[in-house]
């Protein structure tokens, strides 16, 4: 697992835009550190940010949109998959799982990823090309 994540990776994890994340930085609801002029975040920074009720509501709204958009698009040019995984894990384990999927999805331009802490654990939504989604899931379960 990585020790630090940049703002683009945090945007992928949370499904919030980098502009929204910068607003949270200005408001103090998100903490991080500037290294060589770029924001970086530790897993603890990410945990604290995602644990806030207002942030969880924003993330939840974006997650629902991914599934809705997938179902609404009936003219896909290639085979696509949308997978929803619910993990009954602690916040710490959930963060590790989120970061694993973030790292995997960052290597593909065709993958949409949403991770959301829930009362009982973590929900991961992975959408994109059928083979790419399958490969990521295989890597997760083989680790």
pLDDT tens-place string over residues 74-126: 999 899 999 999 999 987 888 889 889 988 988 887 888 888 777 788 889 99
3-state helix, strand, coil in the chain (%, to 5): 50, 25, 25
Average pLDDT of the chain? 88
pLDDT computed for residue 49 by the predictor: 92
Q: Is 37 helix (H, G, I), strand (E, B) or coil?
A: coil
C-alpha 48: how far from chain center: 15
Report residue 23's pLDDT band, with 50, 70 and 90 as the boundaries.
Answer: very high
At 2 the pLDDT is 66
Q: What is the pLDDT of residue 116?
A: 79
Q: Mean per-residue pLDDT for 54-59? A: 83
Please tell me the predicted confidence (pLDDT) of residue 18: 93
d(CA 11, CA 14): 5
Question: Averaged over 17-27, what is the pLDDT?
Answer: 95
3-state secondary structure of 143: coil
Residue written as token pair 């090309």:
129
pLDDT of residue 74: 92
d(CA 97, CA 31): 21
pLDDT band at residue 1 under the 50/70/90 scheme: low
């Amino acid at each position: 697992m990585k020790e630090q994540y940049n703002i683009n990776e945090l945007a992928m994890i949370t499904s919030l835009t980098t502009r929204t994340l910068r607003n949270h930085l200005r408001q103090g609801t998100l903490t991080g550190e500037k290294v060589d002029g770029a924001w970086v975040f530790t897993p603890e920074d990410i945990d604290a940010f995602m644990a806030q009720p207002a942030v969880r509501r924003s993330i939840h709204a974006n997650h629902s949109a991914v599934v809705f958009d997938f179902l609404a698009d009936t003219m896909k040019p290639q085979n696509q998959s949308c997978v929803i995984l619910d993990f009954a894990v602690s916040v710490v384990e959930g963060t590790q799982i989120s970061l694993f999927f973030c790292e995997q999805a960052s290597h593909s331009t065709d993958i949409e990823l949403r991770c959301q802490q829930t009362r009982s654990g973590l929900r991961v939504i992975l959408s994109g090309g059928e083979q790419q989604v399958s490969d990521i899931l295989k890597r997760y379960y083989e680790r």
